[in-house]
């Protein structure tokens, strides 16, 4: 079933780039030779073989590619090379599958494709075929296809590729290894690999020829061919076109054999595996193209490993090869003993790369219902044609089960990750602002849904029927418009709310608090001036920065100056307010010591316009550091600070944001006073949850008040010890604010990070006093919400402030049936006050498909979003349940998801096989990362504050952020092409992939590590660090020197680029291999076993498999 699944999943990934394919192809090419594998495929259902095969084949493939003929001869190094390649191969394979799947899904056209294929067993899809068992798969396919149009099928040529991929990728290896459960399990796998390498390598050189000629090609190609042939013409890319040759190979029969082969004897499978790969290749239209041009494919490869370039080995990506060289070379016999080849299991890197190459090139057009968007790691352009951009909304599945039974059966959570104010690419247009006049936006009478593209106008345009609740509402006279012959309003294209997925309404006074238009919001800067803050230079730093930063307050549109007013407060045990009225010669300080009963001592002159009070403010900011230079006050208060800000906003009758810069646990006598309750002994006990809970409910109540006033709190923490983030963060969290934490803040090392964060935080787009409501088609309903907000009822998400980085995850549950015909609609309406004080409604609409077949569900899932949801769900769980319970629940749910797939969607196969849906083949690895995260499994050096901090942080992350947070990006810097803008290809997060002779960069959205191997060439060290040898690189370095050489520039530009991408400025940490800091670094190599007991990827996969088997049996 792996194949099938892959096929299903494949579609989303769908668009493999030529380059990639090229790779794969070669790899496959190699595989094809083995030919035999096909048989295995058949046996295993394809998946099994697929996995195993891919690994080996890849290895082999690559070897050939790089070394060309040499492969066979290749020594250890070569094999290693192969290994390295092999991962790629695998990746490719996997990708391939996905690619195909993607292709199917995305372009509606592709869907039709499938159907087309359905009728013809062979044609239907190579993928299916791979799944092997033509018959079974066919049925499934047919089901899938059912909805599709033939034409599209044609377009979907990719699917074939998907098929090919599918099998090879995840399924085979896993199954192999798991099937036996023990090492024995692995054996088959390894065995399979073993053989392939040799053969592959050989084949590679031959590859091109083999493909065509080889029997596998026929098998694999066979399917593809049909697909391709069909597809080729209509939609598919040129690649597909190229595929034609394979068709012959595609031959239906092939699938059959492979399946069987796979299942039974692992060893024999080897040969087939290659074949599979071939198939995969074949499936990819593109693949073929590349195949043809072996050379072409190679060039692609060079990029990966190429930098070192010179020697053949480097080309092969030495680093990758390190771990498993043996595999390739080892005789099959040895392999059985060997553990699972990490290269053979689904590789995130591969999936990401494939999606990037498939989807990155052309815009994602949102016009079609239920389209799965490209991955978040792919840089793509969006064209809004009626559905909200995936930058605004992503769903765990774009095809929702029609009934709750189905949903329950699958256990796939139905959730949408919504980022209402997301930043778009510059090329994309911001939502248009629509003004419906005094009567306000046109809405459904019953459910109050806002006018959107899915509303049906009837009776000549006099009424419209709500797409959510079907209620019929009169069209207000001023909004009336005639319909054209298709029933569309004539002004369809003139009105954003009728033609676009995202747009804004201008709100009327009815949408405002107290029926009064809001005043422009205010920013209040509240600076801790206790001893620590002053001594560390923080106060001076903040004041200096504010002087210039105040000129960059958010402005609306093209207004000349920001409407936002600013105010200043400093505090230690008492609060100091400042009167900075423009008419004053000097600012005035007003001390409020009555912290027990906070109030705002002044009205006029506290919140001022920056330009008007410029000189007074400057004078104030100059004087603050001086005034407190000699302070000896170490105690601070906290709650009164927020209260003060809140009261100030109340008095000014506006919403706003507090920027609080705080250093220590608030132990001074005041409301909200805290005590140090940190206790690491609680970890792994039932009381561990208390560490995440606030100490007192005081802050919850305060948060409620803040939300009511629209007072958002952003917290910048500079702790030198425990300060109870779990409690201090409550208000921030519930008001939609952000926490920034700089432990052991040191001016020299942390200044840049802090200032960059501050600048971004102050400048970023933000809405105030926001209320978000998600409306859905009858049949499902939003039931649960995750994120930084407050809810006073069950439907409205209230946020005092909402910025462009904040994300809300919404879970849906069925309360009735959905229909396949009408699909499911989401409408997210966000009412907020803009930075100029304009009250607006931002509407995002998204239409989803509905399915009655589980396979459709599994084919349209998005693992990254799923992980986002699961992580948030789990992170909330730790507040109320022991961590272990939460972890078990996570594993269990995922096992059920996968088991359900296996049971209902995959073609029958041996129980020992692990079969993963293509769309979810990364679920295990990502899930493992979530389980290993600091919150769920704290490392020794992780503080309680860190955990609380991360817990809150993750809760409002979007999909892209969770993706990189849980599976950090690891880039081999030494392989970067200094002449191009591109990033070096990422590698998997495992120590095995690191070469002592290289320098790597790892980023997870919070930190950037630069890891330097002990054997790095001195020249590189000199270029990058300006010192002559490894040993001279000082420990604990946190910046890179600015050096004028291409390598240094390149590295720094890469770092800058990464910093730009993330919503927070990441902390740069230079790690020398074998240095103390390396421990910290290794913590982020998430595919490895972690010191704190986290399982390695491979082990976890085994574990998951076991779980799934248990569920199935």
Partner 1 sequence: MSFQSFCSPMATYLEFIQQNEERDGVRFSWNVWPSSRLEATRMVVPLACLLTPLKERLDLPPVQYEPVLCSRPTCKAVLNPLCQVDYRAKLWACNFCFQRNQFPPAYAGISEVNQPAELMPQFSTIEYIVQRGPQMPLIFLYVVDTCLEEEDLQALKESLQMSLSLLPADALVGLITFGRMIQVHELSCEGISKSFVFRGTKDLTAKQIQDMLGLSRPAVPIQQGRPLQAPEQPVISSRFLQPVHKVDMNLTDLLGELQRDPWPVTQGKRPLRSTGVALSIAVGLLEGTFPNTGARIMLFTGGPPTQGPGMVVGDELKMPIRSWHDIEKDNARFMKKATKHYETLANRAAANGHCIDIYACALDQTGLLEMKCCANLTGGHMVMGDSFNTSLFKQTFQRVFNKGFNGEFRMAFGACLDVKTSRELKIAGAIGPCISLNAKGPCVSESELGIGGTSQWKICSLDPSTTLAIYFEVVNQHNAPIPQGGRGAVQFVTQYQHSSTQKRIHVTTIARNWADAQSQLQHIEAAFDQEAAAVLMARLGVYRAESEEGPDVLRWLDRQLIRLCQKFGQYSKDDPNSFRLSESFSLYPQFMFHLRRSPFLQVFNNSPDESSYYRHHFARQDLTQSLIMIQPILYAYSFHGPPEPVLLDSSSILPDRILLMDTFFQIVIYLGETIAQWQKAGYQEMPEYENFKHLLQAPLDDAQEILQTRFPMPRYIHTEHGGSQARFLLSKVNPSQTHNNLYAWGQESGAPILTDDVSLQVFMDHLKKLAVSSAA
Question: Footprint of partner 1 on this chain (CB under 8 A)?
Answer: 531, 574, 576-577, 584, 586-594, 597, 599, 601-605, 619-620, 623, 627, 632
Q: Residue 31 has which token pair?
A: 């595989």
CA distance 88 to 67: 16
Q: Nearest distance from residue 581's CB to partner 1, in Å?
A: 9
Q: Nearest distance from residue 627's CB to partner 1, in Å?
A: 7
Q: Nearest distance from residue 612's CB to partner 1, in Å?
A: 17
The string over 694-704, giving b where at least 16 C-beta atoms fall within 10 Å of a residue's C-beta and e elsewhere, is bbbebbeebbe
Closer residue to partner 1 in complex, CB, 596/1057: 596
Report the DSSP pairing between strands 796-803 and 824-833: unpaired
Closer residue to partner 1 in complex, CB, 623/1053: 623
Closer residue to partner 1 in complex, CB, 591/791: 591
Q: Residue 484 has which token pair?
A: 């054209």
Give the total residue count for the chain.
1113
Residues 6+ apart with CB under 8 A from 51: 2, 90, 167, 168, 169, 170, 171, 172, 173, 174, 175, 176, 189, 344, 345
Q: Are 382 and 844 in contact (CB under 8 A)?
A: no
Closer residue to partner 1 in complex, CB, 604/941: 604
CA distance 252 to 132: 9
Helix (H) or strand (E) holding 1059: helix 1046-1061
Helix (H) or strand (E) holding 465: strand 463-465
Phi then psi for 904, rounded to 5 degrees?
Answer: -105, -20
Q: Nearest distance from residue 661's CB to partner 1, in Å?
A: 20
Closer residue to partner 1 in complex, CB, 209/601: 601
Q: Are 591 and 573 in contact (CB under 8 A)?
A: no
Q: Nearest distance from residue 578's CB to partner 1, in Å?
A: 8
Q: Nearest distance from residue 632's CB to partner 1, in Å?
A: 6
Q: Nearest distance from residue 617's CB to partner 1, in Å?
A: 12
Closer residue to partner 1 in complex, CB, 97/542: 542
CA distance 363 to 386: 14
What is the torsion angle, in degrees rounded to the nearest 10, for the CA atoms of residue 193, residue 199, residue 200 and residue 203?
-170
Closer residue to partner 1 in complex, CB, 585/1042: 585
Q: Nearest distance from residue 576's CB to partner 1, in Å?
A: 8
Dihedral of CA 988/992/993/999: which sign?
A: positive
Closer residue to partner 1 in complex, CB, 463/650: 650
Closer residue to partner 1 in complex, CB, 592/802: 592
Closer residue to partner 1 in complex, CB, 586/1032: 586
Q: Are 574 and 592 in contact (CB under 8 A)?
A: yes
Q: Is 147 left (phi over 0), alpha (psi -120 to 50) or beta?
A: alpha
Q: Nearest distance from residue 643's CB to partner 1, in Å?
A: 12
Neighbours of 426 (CB within 10 A): 6
Q: Is 705 left (phi over 0), alpha (psi -120 to 50) or beta?
A: alpha
Closer residue to partner 1 in complex, CB, 641/797: 641
Residues 6+ apart with CB under 8 A from 137: 3, 4, 7, 124, 127, 128, 129, 130, 131, 255, 907
Closest C-alpha among 960, 841, 989, 1019 to residue 308: 1019
How many helices, marked H, and strands, marked E, lie in the chain? 50, 28
Closer residue to partner 1 in complex, CB, 584/1027: 584
Q: Are 751 and 542 in contact (CB under 8 A)?
A: no
Coil, strand or helix at 85: helix
Q: Nearest distance from residue 604's CB to partner 1, in Å?
A: 4
Q: Nearest distance from residue 579's CB to partner 1, in Å?
A: 9
Beta bridge partners of 712: 657
Q: Residue 319 has which token pair?
A: 């680093």
CA distance 803 to 788: 11
Q: Nearest distance from residue 623's CB to partner 1, in Å?
A: 5
CA distance 547 to 553: 12
Closer residue to partner 1 in complex, CB, 471/584: 584
CA distance 209 to 214: 7
Residues 6+ apart with CB under 8 A from 661: 525, 526, 527, 528, 533, 538, 542, 716, 718
CA distance 213 to 515: 77
Closer residue to partner 1 in complex, CB, 120/589: 589
CA distance 422 to 947: 26
Closer residue to partner 1 in complex, CB, 636/838: 636
Dihedral of CA 545/546/547/552: which sign?
A: positive
First to last CA, the chain: 17
Q: Nearest distance from residue 634's CB to partner 1, in Å?
A: 9
Q: Nearest distance from residue 1036's CB to partner 1, in Å?
A: 25
Q: Nearest distance from residue 365's CB to partner 1, in Å?
A: 55
Coil, strand or helix at 655: coil
Q: Nearest distance from residue 599's CB to partner 1, in Å?
A: 5
Closer residue to partner 1 in complex, CB, 591/1091: 591
Q: Nearest distance from residue 577's CB to partner 1, in Å?
A: 7
Q: Residue 905 has which token pair?
A: 């969607």
Closer residue to partner 1 in complex, CB, 511/531: 531
């Amino acid at each position: 079933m792996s194949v099938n699944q892959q096929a299903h999943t494949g579609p989303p990934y769908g668009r493999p780039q030529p380059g990639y394919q090229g790779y794969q192809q070669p790899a496959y090419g190699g595989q094809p030779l083995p030919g035999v594998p096909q048989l295995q495929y058949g046996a295993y259902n394809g998946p099994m073989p697929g996995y195993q095969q891919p690994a080996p084949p890849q290895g082999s493939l690559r070897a050939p590619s790089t070394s060309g003929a040499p492969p066979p001869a290749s020594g250890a190094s070569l094999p290693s090379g192969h290994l390295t390649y092999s991962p790629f191969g695998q990746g490719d394979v996997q990708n391939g599958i996905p690619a195909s799947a993607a292709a199917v899904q995305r372009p509606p056209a592709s869907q039709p494709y499938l159907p087309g294929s359905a009728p013809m067993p062979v044609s239907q899809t190579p993928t299916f075929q791979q799944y092997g068992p033509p018959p079974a798969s066919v049925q499934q396919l047919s089901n899938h296809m059912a909805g599709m149009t033939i034409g599209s099928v044609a377009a979907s040529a990719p699917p074939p590729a998907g098929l090919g991929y599918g099998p090879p990728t995840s399924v085979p290896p896993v199954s192999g290894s798991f099937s036996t459960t023990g090492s024995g399990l692995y054996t088959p796998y390894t065995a399979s690999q073993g053989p392939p390498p040799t053969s592959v390598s050989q084949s590679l050189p031959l590859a091109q020829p083999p493909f065509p000629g080889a029997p596998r090609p026929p098998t694999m190609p066979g399917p593809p061919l049909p697909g391709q042939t069909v597809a080729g013409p209509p939609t598919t890319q040129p690649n597909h076109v190229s595929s034609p040759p394979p068709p012959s190979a595609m031959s239906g029969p092939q699938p059959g054999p492979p399946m069987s082969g796979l299942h039974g004897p692992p060893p024999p499978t080897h040969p087939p595996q290659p074949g599979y790969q071939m198939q995969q290749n074949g499936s990819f239209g593109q693949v073929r193209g590349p195949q043809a041009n072996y050379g072409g494919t190679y060039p692609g490869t060079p990029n990966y490993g190429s930098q070192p370039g010179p020697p053949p080995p480097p080309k092969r990506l030495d680093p990758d090869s390190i771990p498993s060289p043996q595999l390739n070379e080892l005789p099959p016999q040895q392999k059985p003993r060997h553990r699972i080849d990490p290269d053979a299991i689904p590789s995130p890197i591969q999936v990401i790369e494939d999606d990037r190459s498939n989807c990155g090139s052309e815009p994602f057009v949102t016009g079609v219902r239920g389209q799965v968007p490209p991955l978040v790691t792919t840089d793509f352009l969006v064209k809004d044609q009626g559905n909200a951009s995936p930058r605004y909304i992503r769903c765990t599945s774009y095809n929702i089960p029609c009934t709750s039974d189905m949903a329950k059966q699958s256990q796939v959570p139905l959730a949408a990750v919504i980022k209402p104010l997301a930043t778009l690419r510059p090329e994309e247009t911001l939502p248009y602002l629509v003004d419906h006049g005094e009567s306000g936006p046109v809405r459904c009478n019953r459910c109050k849904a806002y006018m959107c593209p899915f509303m049906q106008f009837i009776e000549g345009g006099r009424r419209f029927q709500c797409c959510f609740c079907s209620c019929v509402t009169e069209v207000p006279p001023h909004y009336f418009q005639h319909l054209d012959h298709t029933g569309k309003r004539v002004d369809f294209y003139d009105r954003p709310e009728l033609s676009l997925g995202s747009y804004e309404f201008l709100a009327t006074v009815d949408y405002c608090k107290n029926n009064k238009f809001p005043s422009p919001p205010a920013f209040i800067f509240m600076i801790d001036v206790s001893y620590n803050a002053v001594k560390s230079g923080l106060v001076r730093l903040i004041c200096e920065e504010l002087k210039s930063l105040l000129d960059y307050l958010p402005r609306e549109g093209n207004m000349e100056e920001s409407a936002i007013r600013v105010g200043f407060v400093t505090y230690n045990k008492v609060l100091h307010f400042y009167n900075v009225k423009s008419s004053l010669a000097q600012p005035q300080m007003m001390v409020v010591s009555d912290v027990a009963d906070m109030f705002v001592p002044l009205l006029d002159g506290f919140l001022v316009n920056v330009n008007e009070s410029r000189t007074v403010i400057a004078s104030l900011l100059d004087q603050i550091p001086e005034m407190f230079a000699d302070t000896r006050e170490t105690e601070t208060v906290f709650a009164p600070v927020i209260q003060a800000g809140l009261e100030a906003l109340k008095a000014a009758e506006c919403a706003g944001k507090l920027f609080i810069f705080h250093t220590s646990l608030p132990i001074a006598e005041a409301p909200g006073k805290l005590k140090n309750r940190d206790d690491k002994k609680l970890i792994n006990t039932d009381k561990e949850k208390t560490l995440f809970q606030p100490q007192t409910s005081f802050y919850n109540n305060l948060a409620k008040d803040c939300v009511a006033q629209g007072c958002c709190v952003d917290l910048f923490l500079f702790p030198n010890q425990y300060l109870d983030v779990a409690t201090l963060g409550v208000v921030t969290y519930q008001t939609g604010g952000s926490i920034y934490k700089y432990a052991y803040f040191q001016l020299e090392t942390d200044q840049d990070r802090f200032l960059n964060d501050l600048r971004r935080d102050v400048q970023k787009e933000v809405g105030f006093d926001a209320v978000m409501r998600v409306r859905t088609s009858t049949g499902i309903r939003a039931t649960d919400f995750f994120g930084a907000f407050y809810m006073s009822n069950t439907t409205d998400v209230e946020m005092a402030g909402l910025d462009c980085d904040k994300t809300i995850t919404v879970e849906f549950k069925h309360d009735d049936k959905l229909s396949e015909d009408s699909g499911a609609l989401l409408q997210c309406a966000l009412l907020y006050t803009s930075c100029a004080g304009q009250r607006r409604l931002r509407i995002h609409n998204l239409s989803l498909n509905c399915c009655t077949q589980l396979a459709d569900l599994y084919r349209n899932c998005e693992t990254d979003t799923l992980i986002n949801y699961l992580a948030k769900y789990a992170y909330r769980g730790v507040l109320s349940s022991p961590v272990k319970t939460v972890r078990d629940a996570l594993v269990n749910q995922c096992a059920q998801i996968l088991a359900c797939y296996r049971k209902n969607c995959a073609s029958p196969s041996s129980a020992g096989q692990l079969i993963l849906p293509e769309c979810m083949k990364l679920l295990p690895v990502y899930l493992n990362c979530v389980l290993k995260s600091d919150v769920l499994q704290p490392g020794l050096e992780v503080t309680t504050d860190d955990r609380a901090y991360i817990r809150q942080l993750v809760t409002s992350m979007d999909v892209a952020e969770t993706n990189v947070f849980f599976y950090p990006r690891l880039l081999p810097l030494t392989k970067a092409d200094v002449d191009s803008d591109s990033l070096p290809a990422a590698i998997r997060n495992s120590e095995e992939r690191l070469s002592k002779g290289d320098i790597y960069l790892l980023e997870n959205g919070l930190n950037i590590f630069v890891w330097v191997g002990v054997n790095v060439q001195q020249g590189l060290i000199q270029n990058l660090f300006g010192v002559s040898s490894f040993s001279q690189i000082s420990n604990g370095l946190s910046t890179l020197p600015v050096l004028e050489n291409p390598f240094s520039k390149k590295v720094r530009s890469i770092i800058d680029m990464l910093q730009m991408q993330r919503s927070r400025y990441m902390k740069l940490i230079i790690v020398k291999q074998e240095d103390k800091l390396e421990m910290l670094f290794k913590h982020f190599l998430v595919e490895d076993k972690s010191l704190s007991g986290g399982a390695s990827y491979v082990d976890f996969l085994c574990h998951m498999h076991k779980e799934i088997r248990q569920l199935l049996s």
